[in-house]
Structure 1
């Protein structure tokens, strides 16, 4: 029979050799630009709409009066940052009912699984986006699918599909999905009205409309798919023609949203986020990028 000393010693040894708490698999870091995960103070944009994302990757929170709707999270490791920002604003995670996704890439959707788990919310995305969120993997026909290092991210437990033009209604808010395929097959831009002091404005959370792609992918027709340029251009025109008083893009710098937020932190009147031409300028910039991409693909095709 072991004596009391040996029991204490063995117990102490067991404690000292026990493995440390395992890292959370849903927030395991993925590589990205420093600003993508750098903290940004939460701030009210207008009315019931708040910014809760990082310095480089957007996440928006909408208080509907009957629960919260979150739009995007960022990378997996950004989930705690977003959760902390929500708490700083005085809101509770358990009040998040839906997490809407712009597109299923790791830098925007990677943290959705953790938020869904921690809040009990349901993720909402286009059919293509929902499939990617459930599987934790970008769509096979995604322009960046062959970038295998970035192709996977934590899969979300509760995911629901939404149709083009369908609105998510909660409390006094309706957030409408506008399918804008191009950057990904399931890209979705979201719009809603936000009211302050009796004045309601149209808010646009635009998905990426940039023609980025892996080496070897073509937006022009090739052996694997038909021509994608017409649908991409239609998406860009959709963003340009939306009722748009306030624009926030998924990557802040893509639309100048970063500069407008910085000004907002210094003054609220006049509100620097209000810019009725922001959507048109944003769309025009990225239509030029698409034109350049198409010209490049045509030149390469002629050289083959």
Structure 2
């Protein structure tokens, strides 16, 4: 399945205005990012392998061409954010090893939301690494079934995309922190795209130089089949609360579950600013615009 198939083509973010030891650099590895862009040119499949690249400090991109997976490292162990598809697992593990890290040193896996393109590989990655899994309560309930939530706005289009079920080792709620050594990753509940949508924030450092990384979950109001957001005012209210919470952040480095939505690779290459205090507000504005367009479309039917 491609990114276009789930209507992400129209969600490009307007750029903000303002083993072996890994290389001890701070910012993105431009050569690695160039290789990533070259390999991913024209690729739309969620499982299309991409080479790894440093994002900033101790945070690395190890996902596919179209689905983000991040590795946050420390001498005491690592945290993996998101799991992509089951088919992507071999390339994710290979990317981690290529960076000089051992998958077995991953202590926790956390996720953005409970769709197959982000948690389809969760069972296999948890087994391969021995890591524990931390999920929001709504996401945990869905992921334990291995099926899309019947109440999901995209359920009609995702019913053929089951995944291996996973039981959470820990339930996290808004404001909770996952810790490994010096790492502190804080979860913010950002429901809307799914009920269990979760965003994560942490400090990524190289020596004394640090940046705040905001891994903000998808905020697109996508509907499949006969689903109408206008019939679900509770979901609309969740979206609006999430938009306000995201817009209030001084963002730093923004990463989204689909890298193209926030033009991540282009920013890693230096074509646009990697970090911006306005990035989260711009992202929230995009979400508001998308929801308004969807509601307006429904009003004409």
**TM-score tier after normalising by the smaller chain length:** 0.7 to 0.9
Bigger mean CA offset, 169-178 vs 154-163: 154-163
2:79 is aligned with 1:73: no
Report the equivalent of 2:40.
none
TM-score, normalised via structure 2 length: 0.81
Report the equivalent of 2:148.
138
1:163 is matched with which residue: 166, 169, 173?
173
Residues 293-304 of structure 1 mapped to structure 2, 5 A cutoff:
293-300=294-301
Report the equivalent of 1:4.
none
**Cα offset for 1:255?**
1.4
Q: Aligned partners of 1:211 and 1:248: how far apart in 2?
A: 18
Bigger mean CA offset, 90-99 vs 148-157: 148-157
Q: Is the 8 A contact 1:126 1:162 kept in 2?
A: yes
Report the equivalent of 1:87.
97
CA distance 1:150–1:233, change in 2 (3 Å):
farther
Q: Aligned partners of 2:123 and 2:274: how far apart in 1?
A: 30
Report the equivalent of 2:246.
239
Q: Residues 90-138 of structure 1: CA distance to partner in whole angstroms, max 9, x if unpaired?
A: 1111111111010010111101110001111112111111112221112
Q: Is the 8 A contact 1:69 1:98 kept in 2?
A: yes
Report the equivalent of 1:27.
none
Q: Is the 8 A contact 1:38 1:55 kept in 2?
A: yes
CA distance 1:159–1:281, change in 2 (3 Å):
same
Q: Aligned partners of 1:114 and 1:230: how far apart in 2?
A: 35
Q: Aligned partners of 2:75 and 2:152: how far apart in 1?
A: 37
Q: Residues 167-217 of structure 1: CA distance to partner in whole angstroms, max 9, x if unpaired?
A: 111111111111111111110111111122413221000110000111211
Q: Is the 8 A contact 2:47 2:88 kept in 1?
A: yes
**Cα offset for 1:234?**
1.2
Q: Is the 8 A contact 1:145 1:151 kept in 2?
A: no
Residues 80-229 of structure 1 mapped to structure 2, 5 A cutoff:
80-220=90-230, 222=231, 225-229=232-236
Q: Aligned partners of 2:117 and 2:263: how far apart in 1?
A: 19
SS of match in other structure, 2:67:
coil
Q: Which structure has the larger Rg?
A: 1
TM-score, normalised via structure 1 length: 0.81
Equivalences, count:
261
**Cα offset for 1:290?**
0.7
Q: Is the 8 A contact 1:139 1:185 kept in 2?
A: no
**Cα offset for 1:149?**
3.9
**Cα offset for 1:50?**
0.7
Q: Aligned partners of 1:64 and 1:237: how far apart in 2?
A: 32
5+ residue gaps, structure 2, are: 4-43
Q: Is the 8 A contact 2:220 2:291 kept in 1?
A: yes
5+ residue gaps, structure 1, are: 1-30
Report the equivalent of 1:39.
49
Q: Is the 8 A contact 1:219 1:227 kept in 2?
A: no
SS of match in other structure, 2:226:
coil
Q: Is the 8 A contact 1:67 1:96 kept in 2?
A: yes
SS of match in other structure, 1:135:
coil
2:252 is aligned with 1:251: no
Superposed CA RMSD? 1.9
Report the equivalent of 1:13.
none
Which structure's relative contact order is higher, taking Cα pairs within 8 Å and 6+ residues apart?
Answer: 2
